Amino acid sequence: MPISDKLLSMLVCPTCRKSLAYDIDKTFLICDNCRVKYDVIDDIPVLLADDARKLDD
């Protein structure tokens, strides 16, 4: 089950504390501010700054 909109609205980027958005396939959460993405594993977002990956990769 995907993360609900309500939960998603409470999630913030661990680096900049801004809100996150799903990518189109709902496999990542994206921070537009930092230009990074976070994995979503088994519907649990991995919001660790160390695990952030650059969007441009």
Q: Given candidates 3, 29, 34, 40, which one binds Zn ion under the rule CB under 5 A?
A: 34
Q: Which residues contact 34 (CB under 8 A, 6 or more apart)?
A: 13, 15, 16, 52
Kind plus residue range of the DSSP H or E element containing 55: none
Least distance in Å: CB of 19 to Zn ion? 9
Stretch of 1-9, 25-33, 37-45 lying at the interface with Zn ion (CB under 5 A)? 25-33
Q: Which residues contact 57 (CB under 8 A, 6 or more apart)?
A: none
13 near Zn ion (CB under 5 A): yes
The footprint of Zn ion (CB under 5 A) covers: 13, 15-16, 31, 33-34
